[in-house]
Chain A
């Protein structure tokens, strides 16, 4: 499984309130949530994002509330992978549970600028910046997490478990 697209670049401590402000949480409709994704810090994001693009940020990405609406908005907006120096733990869990691949890789974060085209191989954890030609190695997901992401999240994964 691969991801390929241009990078959107953000800083430290991007919190769930800016990923999807609480004023829009009176719905759980993924498309509506996606239409407001990042708007409090980057009004142009929803206009510029294309299917497959990558989000790259510094440390503690997704801190704050437990709202699954945050990774859901990012995924539905078209983002195929988030790379950060570190992730807040509930966001990390939620992303995997809904099948949004996320990778911790401080070196890649350093080496990717806004607009760079990035290719990611989830099986190996290899992140390549095609614009600069530099590649980075992240810790690949353990097989059960890869399976969860391939199954679009925890629900399908657990369904199989329950069926057993």
Chain B
């Protein structure tokens, strides 16, 4: 029976020859993830199982990144709870502040993700690892608890949608613009319960960071997962970060796709999602004059080194516009260090940008950049729901690091092409 790439990975992990969409399977997991918001709920559930150990100490990862470094006493209590649990259960992949990064940038960087893996995480953006050819998907805390206890989870095998990519991106256009364009096209439930599988000659032109961003926001189209084929770009990343032998799974030539979309990357424009849904997109040419109060560059979506390089290229030698608050969040300590050694942090600080330790912070309205009523942010984050970054009467516009950085210089949502032209 012909299968999509996602279906094949699920079949391997369910120890069966083939699966079909809609089939319910129980599958073995390679990694189970939780953070400081979802793990406390999972730990409470885990205790109810009556088991004393996690299924495999090397296959559980716990990352305090959401309200960490501890934002208040309650957050500190939750972080302490997961720290104590990790110590008690001897979980090998617990990352303390100072080593911590935003989970979906950290796990691949630490070599915890291999191509062909089946990974669940109690965080919706767990779908990020599809960039490396893994099947990864977000679940809730009870699933995490069950997975920590048994090493297994149940899945309904998803249908697949194919995105056939050709061409290559223009200067100042990135993976963020690709995924915003796609979500704008298919809607926030356009891929509900489905796999978003990427293929075609355009894939080779996308950096691994672009692919992380594209897979990261699969959930914003309602998808179960996003996934890229394992090509040389992915193999190079895996070789640099991972001791394991890559597992290459390819979709069958005659795999069934519920829908096929042709996307010419060279035609994609810088794209902005207006409040209050990620599918409310406009190209930069259609934005008009939108004043902002805050600029956020970072998050699991866009806190990678290449994101910071683009932002620094635009901000170099310039100043953040008066009255605008600009914040940069490198996604991991390694990215922070790389940004320091490359001189990017100096560029940010000299431009008047605040640089933070890694945290999810403002993306989910946690801390480190909350908006007041009627305030407006342009952010490289992933959601612009009502109240997402603070007051229910505030607004978030989603964009790429290039658009966010250009906007920091003017105080209005700005086309990065125009900033460079004015030099």
Contact = CB atoms under 8 A, between A and B. Distances in A.
A60 B145 contact: no
Nearest to B70: A26
B188 interface: yes
B333 interface: no
B255 interface: no
Interface in B371-400: 383, 385-388, 392
B213 interface: no
Interface in A45-64: 59-60, 63-64
Contacts of B261: none
Contact of B141 (A21, A63, A68, A156): A68
B140 A63 contact: no
A66 B49 contact: no
A65 B299 CA distance: 14
A18 interface: yes
A17 B383 contact: yes
A48 to B, nearest CB: 19
B74 interface: yes
Nearest to A85: B189
Contacts of A164: none
A80 B272 CA distance: 39
Contact of A86 (B37, B48, B150, B189): B189
Nearest to A145: B24
A154 B67 CA distance: 27
B369 interface: no
Given A26-B67, A90-B124, A64 B385 contact: yes
A9 B6 CA distance: 36
A98 B277 CA distance: 27
A130 interface: no
Most buried by A among B40, B48, B78, B140: B140
B224 A89 contact: yes
B275 interface: no
Interface in A12-58: 13, 15, 17-18, 21-23, 25-28, 40-41
Contacts of A40: 386-387, 392
A41 B188 CA distance: 19
A86 B191 CA distance: 12
A18 to B, nearest CB: 6
Nearest to B124: A66
Contact of A158 (B41, B124, B146): B146
A67 B38 contact: yes
Contacts of A21: 365, 387, 392
B143 A154 contact: yes
Given A63-B189, A66-B139, A162-B150, A15 B49 contact: no
Interface residues of A, number: 39
B71 interface: yes
A69 B365 contact: no
Given A21-B365, A66-B124, A66-B138, A155 B45 contact: yes
B321 interface: no
Contacts of B45: 155
Contact of B37 (A64, A67, A156): A67
Contacts of B140: 66-68, 71, 90, 93-94, 97-98
Contacts of A90: 124, 138-140, 219
Contacts of B385: 15, 17-18, 64
B222 interface: yes
Contact of A22 (B49, B50, B72, B365): B365
B122 interface: yes
Interface in B117-162: 121-124, 126, 138-143, 145-146, 149-150
Given A60-B222, A63-B188, A63-B189, A18 B387 contact: yes
B193 interface: yes
A59 B192 CA distance: 11
Given A26-B74, A153-B142, A158-B49, A86 B67 contact: no
A3 interface: no
Contact of A159 (B37, B50, B142, B189): B50
B75 interface: yes
A64 B145 contact: no
**Lowest 9 CB-CB distances: which A-B pairs, in order?**
A94-B140, A26-B74, A68-B140, A97-B142, A60-B189, A66-B124, A22-B364, A40-B392, A68-B141
Given A26-B72, A28-B40, A162-B51, 11 more contacts: A13-B188, A17-B386, A18-B386, A25-B66, A25-B366, A27-B74, A65-B383, A66-B38, A94-B141, A97-B142, A162-B150
13 contacts: A13-B188, A17-B364, A17-B387, A22-B365, A22-B366, A25-B364, A26-B67, A26-B74, A27-B74, A63-B222, A94-B139, A97-B142, A154-B142
Interface of B: 37-38, 40-41, 44-45, 48-51, 66-67, 71-72, 74-75, 78, 121-124, 126, 138-143, 145-146, 149-150, 188-189, 192-193, 219, 222, 224, 277, 364-366, 383, 385-388, 392
